[in-house]
Structure 1
Amino acid sequence: MHDLVIFDCDGVLVDSEMIAQQVIVDRLAPCGLVLSTRQSADLFVGGTIQSASEEATRLGAELPADWVPETYSAIFEALRDNTPLIANVVDLLDQLDRRGLQYCVASNGPLAKMEITLGQNGLWQRFEGRRWSAHDVGHAKPHPGLFLHAARAMNAELEACIVIEDSASGVKAAAAAGMRCLGFAAHCDGANLRALGAEVFHDMADVPALLAMHGS
């Protein structure tokens, strides 16, 4: 029986990942690191901009001191009024409400970013009091602390939580927290997520059946 569904934000609630990755690609090229958006996604999706800067530096980029805050600003601007919802996610939330199953969002991104992406789609208010950011909690995925914090805040038992994630770091965090994880693979076969222990699915419309399989 599940007590709580924990959603990641980018790539799970809103289709924002490739928008953000294009900004990162554009801002890394002048610093000596040329990547495609697919390469950028493989390297950076699921992390923070700080962790992206550290990995980019390791790969040879020479980043200015203000690269992290300026990249956040550029991503926020690119996402503003231009971030669609993931298909069928609102219907999924409606079904969770009808079942009386509580849910929340836990993201490595800052709340300011969630306010932009969720706000333009009506979900910011819907998740009122149920929004958690690694920037505030102090632990970013793949550390389990963000999910553990969400479970405590929502008064849910760890083994009764289910996480919906689209990144390797998120799947690892769920596993470390002792939580069941559904791996959302909208544009690929999800083999990387499956290899880490996630139950892979490809459409938010599939989630109610996956929950029902476990008696929720």
Structure 2
Amino acid sequence: MHDLVIFDCDGVLVDSEPLSNQVLVDNLARYGLNLTIEDSMKLFVGGTMTGVRDKARALGAELPTGWVDEVYAETYDRLRLGVQLMPGVADLLAVLEANGLPFCVASNGSPDKMQITLGQNGLWDRFRDVAFSAHVLGTAKPDPTLFLATAERFNAVNPVVIEDSLSGVTAASRAHMRCLAYVPHGGGKKLADAGGEVFSDMAQVPALLGI
């Protein structure tokens, strides 16, 4: 029986990835790199913004010093306009609470970003004390340290991770944690190859957890 559920945030709890990637597409176009949103999702989802910067520069974008702060500000402004929960998340959290199964969030995103996205959906009060960020820890997925440190905070010996990105699934695998790989729009071969157990609907999770 699992003793902790570790959620990723973007793309798992909140449907923020399309919005954030549209901001990236629009921003990078101003600096000479023209991508589709599909390109951006494929290149950047699950990474850090410094990683995005480095990849974009390698692809030819002429990004200025201070670009990371610039794109964060643009992203936060867009997310403040509204971001939805992923379908079924509220019901899943209710089931976990009813079964006394602790949960938390561990994200490569910043605490400010999580507060914006979770705050407007009524979840920040439930996650504020159990929100773990790579920005604070200083090391990001696919490094397993974020997940290992999170489990240690709960004294969890059998945690399960819910992820939607290759970097997140890889981090879970490296941490020797079971990982449920969320692919609501199909696909998922890369996540499965990395060790994730692919599923497409949050309503499937209780059965996968044995509750």
What is the TM-score when the length of structure 2 is the normalising length? 0.98
SS in 1 for 2:190: helix
Compute the displacement of 1:175 (Å).
0.4
Compute the displacement of 1:188 (Å).
2.4
Q: CA separation in 1, counterparts of 2:121 and 2:141?
A: 25
Q: CA separation in 1, counterparts of 2:65 and 2:83?
A: 28
Cα deviation digits, residues 8-56 of structure 1 (max 9, x gap): 0000000000100000011111211110001100000001111100111
Deviant stretches of 4+, over 4 Å: none
Query: How many pairs were matched up?
Result: 211
SS in 1 for 2:184: coil
Q: Which residue of 2 aligns with 1:156?
A: 156
Alpha carbon RMSD of aligned pairs, Å? 0.8
Cα deviation digits, residues 147-182 of structure 1 (max 9, x gap): 01110111111xx01000000000000001010000
1:171 to 2:169 alignment: yes
Q: CA separation in 1, counterparts of 2:177 and 2:19?
A: 29
Q: Which residue of 2 aligns with 1:69?
A: 69
Q: CA separation in 2, counterparts of 1:128 and 1:82?
A: 19
Q: Which residue of 1 aligns with 2:90?
A: 90
Deviates more, 1:186-195 or 1:71-80: 186-195
Native 8 Å contact 1:81 1:120 kept in 2: no
Q: CA separation in 1, counterparts of 2:89 and 2:173?
A: 23
SS in 2 for 1:105: strand
Native 8 Å contact 1:5 1:103 kept in 2: yes
Q: Which residue of 2 aligns with 1:137?
A: 137
Compute the displacement of 1:67 (Å).
1.0
SS in 2 for 1:129: helix
Identity of aligned residues (%): 55
Compute the displacement of 1:93 (Å).
0.4
What is the TM-score when the length of structure 1 is the normalising length? 0.96
**Equivalence map 1:168-207=2 (5 Å):** 168-207=166-205
Q: CA separation in 2, counterparts of 1:42 and 1:68?
A: 19
Compute the displacement of 1:128 (Å).
2.8
Q: CA separation in 2, counterparts of 1:127 and 1:154?
A: 14
Amino acid at match of 2:19: I
Compute the displacement of 1:81 (Å).
3.7
Native 8 Å contact 1:14 1:85 kept in 2: yes
Q: CA separation in 1, counterparts of 2:29 and 2:85?
A: 29
Compute the displacement of 1:77 (Å).
0.5
SS in 1 for 2:98: helix
SS in 2 for 1:178: coil
Q: CA separation in 1, counterparts of 2:78 and 2:30?
A: 19
Q: Which residue of 2 aligns with 1:112?
A: 112
